[in-house]
Amino acid sequence: MDVINPATEERIATLTEDIAATLQEKWQQLKAAQPAWQARPLEERITVVKRFSELLETNKTQLAQILTSEVGKPVTQSANEVSGAIGRISWLAGNAAKYLADEIMGETPDLEERIAYEPLGVIANISAWNYPYLVGVNVFVPALLAGNAVLYKPSEYASLTGLQIERLWKEAGLDAHLFLTAIGTGNVGAALLEMPFDGYFFTGSYKTGHFIYNKVAAKMVPCQCELGGKDPLYVADDVTDIIAVAAATADGAFYNNGQSCCSVERIYVHENKYDAYIEAFVNEVRSWKTGAPTEEGIYFGPLTRKEQIGVLENQIADAVRKGAQIRTGGNRVDGKGYYFQPTVLTDVNAGMLVMKEESFGPVIGIMKVKNDAEAIAQMKDTEYGLTASVYSSGQARAESILQQVNAGTGYWNCCDRVSAALPWSGRKHSGFGTTLSHSGLRAFTKAKAYHLRKHS
């Protein structure tokens, strides 16, 4: 399998894809190693995880360069991602004892009632390329903390990073057969669905998630799907600093080239602030540099996948045909690399693809609304339910709007952010299940109830 640098279109590595026999061998190794890991005291598992995190820190520059070479993310954003992963591990490792240790729920002289959080066993983690460290850590760190073994299937667009992660777990002292990678395309992911894993944890598109959930259902084992979004953001008429709001929300839409599950994908602006917001927003976007992702100071590198260029062109052509205005951008960039101009569309409406389907690229539609009621109706008009955001000086006003939107995360005066302390979960086509927070730590366990009567 060739690994292509999306900035240069050059082949940078050729990897051997796993086949059924090697996957089977890896599964057997994981299965054999897992019971001893489960038997290790939680404190020892936490120590190994902390060592892995330290190695992320000491290897950060090299890891960022490798990530940039295969996904095209500007190298400063790649380093930020590794730092973000270290922050998440700190929370997960720091809270593992609190949420994974046995809990005594009731005790009388005669009876103890206790919950034990047992690991699932060997889990499959089928992952995405857009934030391989962050979305990977969300799954494999709590899974290992809980005593599971992990078969990690990195995206075919982030395989070199997957192999680095495997190397660092070994260096951290994890038994070499507790965390193994499965290298390959979707076919390798699909082959894992035919195997007897004890849980399936998927991050990726709705289409693949739907396929996986259907396949796994017959196995009667846990399955979680963290999928895409079409995340709305509303700018109310009582915001005070429109330039700062435009800058923050543009970053929420365009960071990582818009290739984030929780990127802002649709913006609604109160008519009283609309013109000022558009002007500030476009100025902000135009101030960011596009260029080689290896250079300092670059905000836009290439897209990771060539095919996405066609998706964006199609959304833009559809919008323009239906009356949208292009305020900046609108085209692919000629020359080597999968570059696309950051694009701002106005005069959009709910019937346009750009306001309905995940863009997952540097394209945003901004729509004028008359009032909160119209904003709420538009925000709710989606198959997805990952995040929603409101910018307003009134907390009660913002919270009231967010309560009405069926999304796993609500943001007031912020967007495109994740906290390890809070549950990360989608609704509707954005998926189901939870990573992060106490609930995400326990997602990789089976709760066993003990009723312990002290007298026979």
Task: Give min distance, CB of 440 to ligand NAD, in A.
Answer: 11
358 is an interface residue for ligand NAD by CB under 6 A: yes
Candidates 11-19, 125-133, 244-252, 443-451; binding stretch for ligand NAD (CB under 6 A): 125-133
Comparing CA positions, the residue from 10, 264, 283, 47 lying closest to residue 144 is 47
Among 6, 385, 426, 440, binds ligand NAD (CB under 6 A): 426
- DSSP one-letter string for 398-431: HHHHHHHS--SEEEES--S---TTS-B---GGGE
Q: Which is nearer to ligand NAD, 83 or 272 (CB)?
A: 83
Rounded to 5°, the CA angle 215-220-223 comes to: 65
Rounded to 5°, the CA angle 140-144-148 comes to: 105
Candidates 96-104, 151-159, 230-238, 273-281; binding stretch for ligand NAD (CB under 6 A): 151-159
Q: How far apart are CA 227 and CA 177, in angstroms?
A: 29
Can you name the residues that pair with 345 across neighbouring β-strands?
A: 326, 365
Q: Mark 127-146 with x for binding to ligand NAD (rule: CB under 6 A) and - for no binding.
A: xxxxx---x-----------
Q: Which is nearer to ligand NAD, 7 or 436 (CB)?
A: 436
Q: Which is nearer to ligand NAD, 126 or 369 (CB)?
A: 126
- DSSP one-letter string for 157-184: TSHHHHHHHHHHHHHTT--TTSEEE--S
Task: Give min distance, CB of 188 to ligand NAD, in A.
Answer: 7
Catalytic residue among 166, 223, 225, 261: 261
**Cβ-contact 169, 151 below 8 angstroms:** no
212 is an interface residue for ligand NAD by CB under 6 A: yes
Task: Give min distance, CB of 186 to ligand NAD, in A.
Answer: 3
Catalytic residue among 70, 81, 166, 226: 226
| Amino acid code (one letter) for 159 | S
Q: Mark 190-209 with x for binding to ligand NAD (rule: CB under 6 A) and - for no binding.
A: x--x---------xxx--x-
Q: Is 226 assigned a catalytic role?
A: yes
Task: Give min distance, CB of 187 to ligand NAD, in A.
Answer: 7
Residues between 295 and 334 with contacts to ligand NAD, criterion CB under 6 A: none
Rounded to 5°, the CA angle 25-30-31 comes to: 95
Residue 54: Cβ-neighbour burial (10 angstroms; 0-12, 13-18, 19+): middle
211 is an interface residue for ligand NAD by CB under 6 A: yes
Helix (H) or strand (E) holding 326: strand 325-328
**For 416, left (φ over 0), alpha (ψ -120 to 50), or beta?**
left
Q: Which is nearer to ligand NAD, 211 or 412 (CB)?
A: 211
| Amino acid code (one letter) for 428 | K
Q: Is 98 helix (H, G, I), strand (E, B) or coil?
A: helix
Q: How far apart are CA 30 and CA 175, in angstroms?
A: 10
- Number of residues interacting with ligand NAD: please give it, by CB under 6 A: 31
Residues between 221 and 250 with contacts to ligand NAD, criterion CB under 6 A: 226-229
Task: Give min distance, CB of 231 to ligand NAD, in A.
Answer: 9
Residues between 360 and 379 with contacts to ligand NAD, criterion CB under 6 A: 360
159 is an interface residue for ligand NAD by CB under 6 A: no
- DSSP one-letter string for 109-161: SSEEEEEEEEE-SEEEEE--SSSHHHHHHHHHHHHHHTT-EEEEE--TTSHHH
Residue number with the shortest CB distance to ligand NAD?
Answer: 189
Q: Which is nearer to ligand NAD, 284 or 358 (CB)?
A: 358
174 is an interface residue for ligand NAD by CB under 6 A: no
Residues involved in catalysis: 226, 261
Give the residues lining the site for ligand NAD (CB under 6 A): 126-131, 135, 153, 155-156, 185-186, 189-190, 193, 203-205, 208, 211-212, 226-229, 261, 358, 360, 386, 426, 431
